[in-house]
């Protein structure tokens, strides 16, 4: 059984919540979300916000909070082989309500099909599915991901995420 060891990133001003399934091996090693260098999560968000891609954990936290984005995962603990979402078993979900009650979350998005399926199974039906930024999602180029993820820009009218 693997335990999720990365705390959620959010504050009272967060308006968008993006949920993955469970941290990859690389993310668990680095202690932060989307830690694999080939994962396109940070490049997609930076492109949408017209900013430089954050590099350090501190830069990533600052980027998220400045843009009112909360990030966490659906799963608190599970059995998983490596980083393979298809191997996930014995899921215990995270307490997503703890973020919702302490922030201004208006929209919830899931990063990929596994996160979406598990969110619907354990939490609710109020999340919008976005294509996975994982390098395993080879069907999506970076440009295609940026285009699909641009839906999060429509959450607000002031031009920011």
Task: Tell me which residues are annotated as active site.
Answer: 39
Q: Where are the beta strands (DSSP E) in 24-158?
A: 69-73, 75-79, 89-93, 107-111, 127-130
In angstroms, the CA 123 to CA 75 distance is 11
Convert 104-140 to b/e letters by CB count within 10 Å (16 or more is b).
Answer: ebebbbbbbebbbbbbeeebeeebebbbbbbebbeeb
| DSSP at 154 | G
In angstroms, the CA 62 to CA 44 distance is 16
9 strand-pairing partners = 71
Neighbours of 11 (CB within 10 A): 14
């Amino acid at each position: 059984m693997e335990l999720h060891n990365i705390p959620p990133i959010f504050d009272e001003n967060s308006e968008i919540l993006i949920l993955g399934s469970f941290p990859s091996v690389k993310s668990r090693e680095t202690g932060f979300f989307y830690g694999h260098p080939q994962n396109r999560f940070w490049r997609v968000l930076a492109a949408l916000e017209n900013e430089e891609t954050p590099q350090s954990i501190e830069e990533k936290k600052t980027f998220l909070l400045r843009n009112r984005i909360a990030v966490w995962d659906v799963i608190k603990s599970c059995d998983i082989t490596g980083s393979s979402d298809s191997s996930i078993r014995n899921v215990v979900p995270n307490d997503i309500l703890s973020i919702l009650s302490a922030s201004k979350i208006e929209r919830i998005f899931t990063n990929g099909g596994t996160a979406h399926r598990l969110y619907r199974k354990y939490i609710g039906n109020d999340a919008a599915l976005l294509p996975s930024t994982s390098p395993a999602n080879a069907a999506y180029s970076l440009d295609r991901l940026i285009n699909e993820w641009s839906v999060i820009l429509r959450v607000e009218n002031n031009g920011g995420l």
